[in-house]
Chain A
Amino acid sequence: MLSAYVPVLIFAVIAVLFAAVTLLLSHLIGQRKPSEDKLMPYECGNVPIGTARERFPIRFYIFAMLFIVFDVEVAFMFPWAVLFQKLGLLGFVEMVIFVTILLLGLLYVWGKGALEWE
């Protein structure tokens, strides 16, 4: 059963090797003349102020949360979808209920205005 994954593994090794070798080569080959100005982060020509590792809007976080919820939901839907023809009407109704509950959640987030940017 697992033997089907062997090619995937080989492919992964090749892909990783490719990435590593390319990065390494360019790092070695490319000329290096570092200077203070060059190593400064680019901020549209201005001198950067402070650290860049600042906090960013909470809004991103809300989307991340929503994503997790829906992504896991999708994980539940995969087996359902594959077996859809066997499960028949009952399975369909159950999934409708399941999704409706989640969509109500989406509706709530919508109503709270969390989906509005700015």
Chain B
Amino acid sequence: MFVKPEYFFLLVGITLFSIGAIGFLIRRNLIICFMCIELMLNGVNLVFITFSHFLKSAIGMMYVLFVMAIAAAEVAIGLAIILMVFRLTGSVDMDRLNTMKG
């Protein structure tokens, strides 16, 4: 092993985040975009935990709880908004959101 195994956790965390970010940018389905954001947040969580383990400090783990709470609140509101979009336009395609221009 050339690197500490903990680095892999970091790598996984960042990879998760990147997958989420890329997915968010290239997918057009609202639900998928939304889930990509959740994926990003979970990547962040993993990074927090890994650093927490590196640094032997519990703060990072505490932050994970906060991030989870944030993520949960975002889920609740995000899904409600997507639902609203769907009820109004009958679609969850991002390209349909083009009422406003200029």
The chain A residues found within 8 Å of chain B, CB to CB, are 58, 61, 64-65, 68-69, 71-72, 75-76, 79
Complex: how many Å from CA A46 to CA B69? 46
Q: How far is the CB of A51 from chain B (nearest CB, A)?
A: 15
| B88 interfacial contact with A, CB 8 Å | no
Inter-chain contacts of B79 with A (CB < 8 A): 61, 64-65
Q: How far is the CB of A98 from chain B (nearest CB, A)?
A: 11
Contacts of A75 in B (CB 8 A): 65, 68-69
Asked if residues B83 and A72 are in contact (CB atoms below 8 Å), the reply is no
The yes or no answer to B75 lying at the interface (CB within 8 A) is yes
Contacts of A64 in B (CB 8 A): 79
Q: Are B69 and A61 in contact (CB under 8 A)?
A: no
* Cβ–Cβ < 8 Å partners of B80 in chain A: 61, 65
Say if the beta carbon of B12 comes within 8 Å of chain A: no
Bound-state CA distance A69–B79 (Å) is 13
What residues of chain B have their CB less than 8 Å away from a CB belonging to chain A?
65, 68-69, 72-73, 75-76, 79-80, 83
Cα of A71 to Cα of B73 in the assembled complex, Å: 11
CB distance from B38 to the nearest CB of A (A): 12
Return B22 CB to nearest CB of chain A, in Å: 26
Partner of B68, one of A58, A61, A65, A72: A72
Q: How far is the CB of B16 from chain A (nearest CB, A)?
A: 19
| Nearest opposing residue in chain B for A76, CB measure | B65
Q: A65: which B residues are within 8 A, CB to CB?
A: 76, 79-80
CB pair B76–A58 under 8 Å, yes or no, is no
9 contacts between A and B (CB under 8 A): A61-B79, A65-B80, A68-B72, A68-B76, A69-B73, A69-B76, A72-B68, A75-B65, A75-B69
With A and B bound together, what is the CA distance between A64 and B77 in angstroms?
12
Supplied contacts A68-B76, A72-B72, A79-B65, 7 more A-B pairs, CB within 8 Å: A58-B83, A61-B80, A65-B76, A65-B80, A69-B76, A71-B72, A75-B65
